[in-house]
């Protein structure tokens, strides 16, 4: 029987980065991916001549000296074909008001003052908090423990309350929160999540030519170069507990391998289903994990466009129409993100593909949840068609050429995310964190089984930056934070 120091379940960003850290520190690592394709939500897919991303669109903080630049330098990802976005990287339209999010805090404030000239003092206070979070982002790696970080005071404060207290103009509050389809806005959203994500993009915003799957492929190749293994079509079907720990991992219902530790990048609820009998996983713990709320999912319309119709722009467009930004109403298409691809510019300056995204809850697709992929019936097709048309109508308010430019559309729902990434309820951002109860909703890597750990977006922070940070907290449970981060801070 083969034996490993660490088995990692899932080849999403968190799984691959955690595997990278441990392999770099001499551990024998094996990553097991149930699908034929690496990457989880970093996966890309091809339709005709078009390459579309599953969930990756852009990243923040990749400028030299930025937090993601430091992390991606460690993971050897800086040489990928990154492309900086326009100085004004996000355009937000809330009803009849359009504002631009600019890279750099002075530029950011100046752009908002064009639309809200009397708000300088309030914008100064707003950006001060974001900058403070960004300036101390790596303080959480040393000397604090993961538990201290996860329960920091900003996790216990409300993002919405902060905006309400800091910004008096409702429309300005909405505009400042208007790029936040990168997270689930809601009454329960912790301030740290809001501030950390928004800060990183204001520092700098980047896209990647050729799709986000390159990140996963590069990490996997690095793990293998350091002596690890990365296997696809290798579904973990059981974690076998022996003498109070996981001793063996069953693959595809037939093969077994031995291990000293297991790290799961899968959803915690799915991870527990892999442990059939356990003296350590009590029913109360299973009920707690299974009852935790998940963030909403996404409906995505990936559009291929006729040439020469839609001018390319190197920024995103967020559009809201009579929307309560902090309370999404299921079934209502009142907010859309239009995201362009960096390497799809035709010689005439037009773009050849674009993505439209809008929130979608599990309840909106639950009627088809037990039906197999591709056989969900005409009602499912009709629902997706109506949703696509609603997204196009809203997006056309800022991209008037769009409706007549669509050559072909390809759609996905939370059911698609569940099918391809095994994400519970097709959640876009993992488990929902609640500032009023961080002890129960912000998870640490530890589980009741002493050699079973968690990683990925379900723990504390989602997104590329958040998951990259989390991978170090998970790795630190096995090798210690000082060892895990020694090369991350080598030049400090």
Please report the DSSP string for 227-256 in residue order: T-EEESS--EEEEEEETTEEEEEEETTTEE
pTM of the model: 0.94
What share of the chain in percent tops pLDDT 70?
Answer: 97
- In eight-state DSSP terms, residue 449 is S
What are the φ and ψ backbone dihedral angles of 98, each rounded to 5 degrees? -120, 130
What are the φ and ψ backbone dihedral angles of 136, each rounded to 5 degrees? -115, 20
Is 311 in a helix, a strand, or coil? Answer: strand
Could you report the per-residue pLDDT of 395-447, keeping only the tens digit for each? 999 999 999 999 999 999 999 988 888 888 989 999 999 888 877 777 889 99
Residue 143: both structure tokens together:
């000397």
Please tell me the distance from the alpha carbon of residue 364 to that of residue 367, in angstroms, as a whole number.
Answer: 8
- Tell whether the torsion through CA atoms of 272, 189, 355 and 108 is positive or negative: negative
Q: Which residues pair with 294 in a beta bridge?
A: 431
pLDDT given at position 214: 95
Closest CA to 328 of 415, 403, 432: 432
Please tell me the distance from the alpha carbon of residue 335 to that of residue 94, in angstroms, as a whole number.
Answer: 9
Ranges of residues in the chain whose predicted pLDDT is under 70: 142-152, 491-492
Please tell me the distance from the alpha carbon of residue 189 to that of residue 194, in angstroms, as a whole number.
Answer: 7
Please tell me the distance from the alpha carbon of residue 1 to that of residue 70, in angstroms, as a whole number.
Answer: 39
Measure Cα distances from 459 to 139, 140, 463 in Å. Answer: 19, 15, 12
pLDDT given at position 146: 47
Residue 410: both structure tokens together:
């390809």
Four-CA torsion 394, 400, 401, 404, nearest 10 degrees = 50
Measure Cα distances from 169 to 76, 118, 330 in Å. Answer: 44, 10, 27
pLDDT given at position 52: 87
């Amino acid at each position: 029987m083969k034996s490993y120091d660490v088995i990692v379940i899932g080849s999403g960003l968190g799984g691959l980065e955690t595997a990278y850290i441990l392999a770099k520190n001499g551990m024998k690592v094996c990553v097991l991916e149930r699908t034929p394709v690496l990457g989880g939500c970093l996966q890309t897919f091809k339709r005709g001549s078009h390459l579309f991303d599953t969930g990756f669109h852009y990243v923040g903080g990749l400028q030299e000296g930025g937090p993601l630049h430091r992390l991606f330098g460690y993971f050897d990802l800086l040489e990928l074909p990154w492309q900086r976005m326009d100085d004004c990287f996000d355009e937000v339209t809330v009803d009849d008001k359009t504002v631009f999010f600019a890279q750099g805090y002075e530029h950011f404030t100046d752009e908002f003052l064009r639309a809200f000239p009397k708000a300088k003092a309030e914008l100064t206070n707003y950006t001060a908090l974001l900058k403070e979070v960004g300036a101390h982002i790596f303080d959480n790696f040393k000397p604090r423990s993961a538990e201290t970080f996860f329960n920091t005071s900003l996790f216990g404060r409300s993002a919405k309350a902060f905006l309400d207290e800091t910004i008096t103009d409702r429309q300005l509050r909405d505009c400042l929160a208007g790029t936040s389809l990168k997270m689930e806005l809601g009454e329960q959203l912790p301030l740290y999540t809001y501030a950390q994500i928004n800060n990183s993009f204001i520092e700098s915003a980047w896209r990647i030519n050729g799709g986000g799957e390159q990140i996963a492929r590069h990490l996997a190749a690095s793990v293998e170069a350091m002596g690890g293994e990365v296997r696809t079509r290798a579904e973990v079907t059981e974690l076998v507990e022996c003498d109070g720990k996981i001793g063996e991992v069953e693959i595809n219902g037939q093969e077994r391998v031995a291990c000293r530790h297991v790290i799961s990048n899968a959803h915690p609820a799915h991870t527990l289903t892999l442990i059939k009998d356990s003296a350590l996983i009590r029913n109360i713990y299973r009920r707690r994990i299974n009852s935790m709320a998940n963030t909403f999912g996404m409906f995505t319309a990936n559009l291929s466009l006729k040439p020469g119709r839609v001018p390319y722009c190197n920024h995103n467009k967020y559009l809201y129409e009579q929307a309560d930004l902090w309370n999404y109403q299921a079934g209502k298409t009142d907010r859309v993100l239009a995201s362009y691809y960096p390497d799809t510019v035709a010689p005439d300056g037009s773009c050849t593909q674009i993505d439209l995204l809008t929130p979608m809850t599990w309840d909106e697709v639950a009627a088809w949840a037990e039906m197999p992929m591709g056989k969900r019936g005409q009602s499912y097709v009709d629902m997706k068609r109506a949703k696509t048309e609603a997204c196009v109508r809203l997006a056309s308010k800022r991209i008037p050429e769009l409706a007549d430019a669509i050559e072909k559309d390809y759609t996905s729902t939370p059911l698609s995310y569940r099918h391809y990434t095994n994400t519970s309820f097709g959640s876009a951002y993992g488990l929902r964190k609640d500032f009023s109860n961080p002890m129960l909703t912000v998870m640490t890597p530890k589980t009741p089984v002493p050699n079973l750990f968690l990683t990925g977006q379900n723990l504390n922070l989602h997104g590329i930056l958040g998951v990259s940070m989390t991978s170090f907290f998970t790795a630190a449970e096995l090798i210690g934070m000082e060892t895990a981060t020694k090369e991350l801070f080598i030049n400090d």
